[in-house]
């Protein structure tokens, strides 16, 4: 009886842990040939965006609202965890023709 309760509790704990993991996703964005790929992202609060710069020059991921601004050198990465819902427009300060968008749902 007691063993059964422990197992049930463990399963419940695991499933909570599992669903949290499933919800907080890591979204990869590759930077190559002066572009963010994918350009448009749908994400949820708690998700993490990771940019990997595969290009031959340094780029930035700069939020238009100035809340974050990462310089990413070739073969380096940068990441941000999304804290609130909303629409994010970001760009590269060095090459303003590079633009990206993140739609963050609650």
Binding stretches for other proteins (CB under 8 A): 33-35, 55-58, 74, 92-98
Which residues, including other chains, have CB under 8 Å from residue 68's CB and lie 6 or more apart? 61, 62, 80
35 versus 43: smaller Cβ distance to other proteins: 35
State how far the Cα of 53 lies from the Cα of 94, in Å rounded to an integer: 14
Burial label for 28, CB within 10 Å (0-12, 13-18, 19+), is middle
State how far the Cα of 76 lies from the Cα of 64, in Å rounded to an integer: 22
40 versus 97: smaller Cβ distance to other proteins: 97
Nearest-approach distance from CB 18 to other proteins, in angstroms: 42
23 versus 93: smaller Cβ distance to other proteins: 93
Nearest-approach distance from CB 50 to other proteins, in angstroms: 22
Nearest-approach distance from CB 60 to other proteins, in angstroms: 10
């Amino acid at each position: 009886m007691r063993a059964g309760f422990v197992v049930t509790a463990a399963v419940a704990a695991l499933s909570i842990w599992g669903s949290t993991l499933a919800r907080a996703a890591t979204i990869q964005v590759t930077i190559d040939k002066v572009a963010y790929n994918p350009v448009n992202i749908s994400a949820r609060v708690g998700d993490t965006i990771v940019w990997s710069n595969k290009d031959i020059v340094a780029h930035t991921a700069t939020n238009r609202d100035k809340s974050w601004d990462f310089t990413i050198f070739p073969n380096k990465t940068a990441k941000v965890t999304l804290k609130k819902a909303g629409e994010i427009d970001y760009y590269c300060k060095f090459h303003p023709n590079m633009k990206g968008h993140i739609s963050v749902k609650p």
